[in-house]
Amino acid sequence: MTLESLTAATQLLQKHGFTRLAASEVPVDPDSEQATGWLIDELSKAPYQAAKPTLFDRASKAVSDWLASLTIGEGTGIPTVVSIVLIALIAIAIIAAITVYGLPRLNRKSHHDDVLFGDADGRTAAQLRSAAEQAAARGDLASAISDMFRSIARGLSERTLVSMTPGTTAHGFAVQAAQVLPQHAQELASSADTFDLVRYMRKPATHDQYEQLRMLESRVRAATPDLVEATS
């Protein structure tokens, strides 16, 4: 029994117990054993039991005392601990989000990225280049030219040097690309003509046309863009 509960019990005993004892004409000078018995009997009654702290009260006080005892550096208890816990939780949430979803706008493809010259095509520049080479090897030059030109466009789009939208045409792309690669402006315009003739006008494709596109793709992929010219 704590000092607080003993004090409360004594006060209640003085208020209720001694009055009843006097009314019952019990001895007013009990010995030690009698006094102890009276006190235990009195404290077992409802008013005193109701005044005892509950299990929840004791648990809450224990947690509060533990938190109040925590300090970090010059911190003074709960505010410092709560701030650090919140910061840690936010940091964990951010790391988890990056782990699951990746960095914003780096590993997420927009809907526009899946459309190339009016057709649904989500292949990368490398995949398009490989498909063109395979088509050329089996003699399908029309597909080879189409995929090689698309590889050039997708490659510059992946490097964020051009902006490809569903409505971007072959010549529209060539104009954009010429702004960052002015040394290849003429070849880009010529390759757009070839792409339109073979892809849309169904003109016969030649091996020379494919080879010109293949070499242009290689040079464009290795070229350093002229960003000053593009922004002027």
- Per the CB < 8 A criterion, the answer to whether 148 and 129 are in contact is yes
Question: Looking at the DSSP assignment, which residues form a beta bridge with residue 120?
Answer: 115
- Per the CB < 8 A criterion, the answer to whether 42 and 48 are in contact is yes
Neighbours of 212 (CB within 10 A): 17
Q: What is the dihedral of CA 116, 181, 124, 104, to 10 degrees?
A: -90
Neighbours of 99 (CB within 10 A): 8
What phi and psi, each to the nearest 5 degrees, are found at residue 2?
A: -85, 170
Element holding 219 (H helix, E strand): helix 207-222
Question: Looking at the DSSP assignment, which residues form a beta bridge with residue 119?
Answer: 116
Neighbours of 119 (CB within 10 A): 11
> 116 by DSSP, 3-state: which?
strand
Stretch 71-96: mean pLDDT, rounded?
65
Q: How many residues can be counted in the chain? A: 232
C-alpha triplet 21, 24, 25: angle, nearest 5°: 90
What are the pLDDT digits (tens) for 88-105? 778 787 877 666 555 554
What are the pLDDT digits (tens) for 17-67? 444 444 444 455 666 666 666 666 666 665 555 556 666 667 667 766 765
| pLDDT band for position 177 (cuts 50, 70, 90) | very high
pLDDT exceeds 50 at position 3: no
Q: Which of 59-68, 69-78, 124-133 has the highest mean pLDDT?
A: 124-133
How far apart CA 60 and CA 67 sit, in angstroms, is 11
Give the amino acid at 42. E
How far apart CA 148 and CA 143 sit, in angstroms, is 8
| pLDDT band for position 166 (cuts 50, 70, 90) | confident
pLDDT exceeds 60 at position 176: yes
Token duo for residue 23: 């009314």
Neighbours of 49 (CB within 10 A): 9
**pTM metric for this prediction:** 0.53
